[in-house]
Amino acid sequence: MNLFAVTGNPILHSKSPNIFNTVFQKDNIDAAYFRLAADDAEEAIHLLKSLSLKGMNVTAPYKADVMPYLDEIDPEAEKINAVNTIVNINGKLKGYNTDHIGVTESFKDNGIQLKNKKCIIIGAGGAGRAAVYGLHKAGAEVMIIDIAEDVAKKVAGEFNCTAKPYHDLEDCVRTSDIIVYAVDAATVKVLKEEWLNPEQVIYDVNYKPSFLTELAKEKGCKMVTGAEMLINQAMPGFKYYMGYDADKQIMWNGFNTGISNKKKNTIALIGFMGTGKTSVGKALAQMIDYQFIDLDVEIEKKSGMRISDIFKIKGETGFRKIEQEVLKQVISKTKVILSCGGGAVINPDHRQILKENAIVVWLYNSVVTSVTRGNDGTRPLLNVEKPIEAAEKLFNSRIGFYADTADLLVNTENKSIEKIAEKIYAENNKTFGSKG
Q: Is the model's pLDDT at 178 over the cut of 70?
A: yes
| Number of neighbours of residue 341 by Cβ within 10 angstroms | 21
The stretch 163-187 carries a mean pLDDT of: 95
277 given a catalytic annotation: no
What pLDDT is attached to residue 146? 96
Average pLDDT over residues 132-157: 96
What pLDDT is stored for residue 123 in this prediction?
A: 95
Q: What is the pLDDT of residue 316?
A: 83
Mean pLDDT of 397-411: 96
Looking at residue 432, what is its pLDDT? 77
How many secondary structure helices (H) and strands (E) does the chain include? Answer: 17, 17
Q: Check residue 374 and give its pLDDT.
A: 60
Domains of the chain are 2-97+230-255 (3.40.50.10860), 101-224 (3.40.50.720), 261-432 (3.40.50.300)
All residues at 6 or more sequence positions from 3 whose CB lies less than 8 Å from its CB, including other chains:
31, 32, 33, 34, 51, 52, 53, 54, 399, 400, 403
Q: Between these two residues, 408 and 303, which has the higher pLDDT value?
A: 408
Of the listed ranges 185-194, 261-270, 287-296, 356-365, the one predicted with least confidence:
261-270
- The band of 92, judged by pLDDT with boundaries at 50, 70 and 90, is very high
Give start and end residues of each alpha helix (H) in 304-362: 307-331, 348-357
Q: Is the pLDDT of residue 259 over 80?
A: no
Q: Kindly report each contact of residues 316-324 with a partner whose C-beta sits within 8 Å and lies 24 or more positions away, as own/partner.
A: 316/343, 320/346, 320/347, 320/350, 323/295, 323/299, 323/347, 323/350, 324/349, 324/350, 324/353
Higher pLDDT, 28 or 388: 28
Prediction pTM value: 0.92
pLDDT band at 401 (very low <50, low <70, confident <90, very high): very high
Partners of 58 in the beta sheet?
Answer: 7
Stretch among 63-67, 193-197, 323-327 having the lowest mean pLDDT: 323-327
Which of 15, 54, 63, 264 is catalytic? The answer is: 63
Q: What is the pLDDT of residue 379?
A: 57
pLDDT of res. 132: 96
Alpha-carbon distance of 113 to 157, in angstroms, equals: 25
Burial class (CB in 10 A: 0-12, 13-18, 19+), 282: middle
pLDDT value for 332: 84
> Distance of CA 48 to CAs 5, 37, 237, 309, Å?
8, 12, 16, 38
Per-residue pLDDT tens digits for 14-36: 999 999 999 999 999 999 999 99
Say how far apart CA 259 and CA 159 lie, in whole Å.
38
Average pLDDT, rounded, for the chain:
92
The C-alpha atoms of residue 390 and residue 418 are separated, in whole angstroms, by: 30
